[in-house]
A = this chain, B = another copy of it.
């Protein structure tokens, strides 16, 4: 996958109020979100499928890739742009063989070993975290800034940082060599998701120019 812009990578949550949910996604895209990952850990398959079709309509309008968390069946069914697998999901190697070479494969990694393995198994990028404490993911391991830097150096593929990143703390990741900021709450729970996205992106572009 060439030219994948990971600058501001939105991972979704809380889709219960669908209208509100879809509106947040659209506003975030107006604000510059460059990748959307749909993450539904408790949804029935049919609900996930139907929601994914609706999100895809929006991401296509903004020409931004839609990545499905964990569920390769959903990704294939709606012809999403890619899948993201964690360490408790389908093995990356298996995921790649299922989605083919042209789709995006992202892998979560919390240390150098996992990062290198993901690269060997043809991940297009890795998501590393949690770089800050987060309430979104109960079981997230903590990755201090020093380790984030080491992980970035250990692989050739792009790295996005995730976990508790806000408009206020994003600048602290300035010197880590990452390719993007990945956020959940900082956009999904923002009063104004468009402005939040603009600010996060500004923060990221500033430090990388």
B-contacting residues of A (Cβ < 8 Å)? 44-47, 49, 70-73, 76-77, 85, 87-91, 94, 98
A132 to B6, CA, bound (A): 53
Q: A70 — which chain B residues lie within 8 A by C-beta?
A: 45
A155 to B45, CA, bound (A): 26
Q: A71 — which chain B residues lie within 8 A by C-beta?
A: 45, 73
A51 to B113, CA, bound (A): 25
Please state the number of chain copies in the assembly.
Answer: 2
Q: A89 — which chain B residues lie within 8 A by C-beta?
A: 44-46
Q: A45 — which chain B residues lie within 8 A by C-beta?
A: 70-71, 85, 88-90
Q: How far is the CB of A108 from chain B (nearest CB, A)?
A: 12
A34 to B149, CA, bound (A): 55
Contact A88 B49 (CB under 8 A): no
Q: A44 — which chain B residues lie within 8 A by C-beta?
A: 88-89
Of all chain B residues, which has the CB nearest A76? B98
A76 to B71, CA, bound (A): 12
**Contact A90 B49, CB 8 Å, known A72-B73, A76-B98, A98-B77:** yes
Q: How far is the CB of A23 from chain B (nearest CB, A)?
A: 25
